[in-house]
Amino acid sequence: MFLTMFVLFAGPAISADFVNRGFVTADDYPTASIRRNEEGATLSLVVVDPQGKVVRCETIVSSNHPLLDQAACKAIKRARAKPAKDRNGEIVYGAFKRWNLFFMPAPGSRPNSPFPESVDVEYIVNRLPDGSPPYAISVVNVVVDAQGTAESCDIAHSGGAPALDAIACDQGVRALHLTPIMVTPVMPVRSVQQFKIGFVVKPDDGEQSEGQSDTPITPPEPPAAHSSP
């Protein structure tokens, strides 16, 4: 007789995410916005249920054009998503943020960065560990219980140095204003929520910050709409 044993090993919590990239296209650009030459980037909070359905989309940073904000959330709500998992592999609600950019570049234009950089908590430090990028970001997946308390923190994307990731999961998480996901106004649920913790070197007086890359990115033909990775 053979006895098969299955052992479950705890792993890092996994954030909800979209199944496919590029679901926001030029077809999502509102016709009225094109006529008015409206452009802008909008940051949306996305909530995904355990079945992988986008159940909520909220504008966190507006493009200053309501039609563009609405178009971004309309595209997000029809997108396919993967649900979040906690450290034990249990499927739970998930929340993360995504930029969507609507722009009509002139022929031959080369914007430096298609998406604004944004973090939930930023630390200004005297120096960064050797080998770190000029502007380091640790992306963390935090399991938040129904009372809004952090159960665990895992690094989804490293800031480039273990010391920065350790700070992100310790001081960074404690600096966040955590709240549970509300399925209804009176029903909070456990979830995995993703945040970005940034680290930047304090520039010397008179020096310009090196936080942004000057690598050019070639834009597509106008009009165009894109979602951040």
Report the alpha-carbon distance of residue 57 to residue 44 in Å, rounded.
6
pLDDT at residue 20 in the model: 85
Contact 42, 118 (CB under 8 A): no
pLDDT at residue 228 in the model: 58
Report the alpha-carbon distance of residue 71 to residue 46 in Å, rounded.
14
Report the alpha-carbon distance of residue 178 to residue 144 in Å, rounded.
7
Q: Which residue has the higher pLDDT, 163 or 24?
A: 163
pTM for the full predicted model = 0.82
Average pLDDT, the chain: 84
User: Comparing C-alpha atoms, which of 193, 197, 195 is closest to residue 180?
Assistant: 193
pLDDT at residue 111 in the model: 53
Domains and CATH numbers, the chain: 17-109+117-206+217-227 (3.30.2420.10)
* 22-77 pLDDT, tens digit each: 778 889 999 999 999 999 999 999 999 999 999 999 999 999 999 999 999 999 99
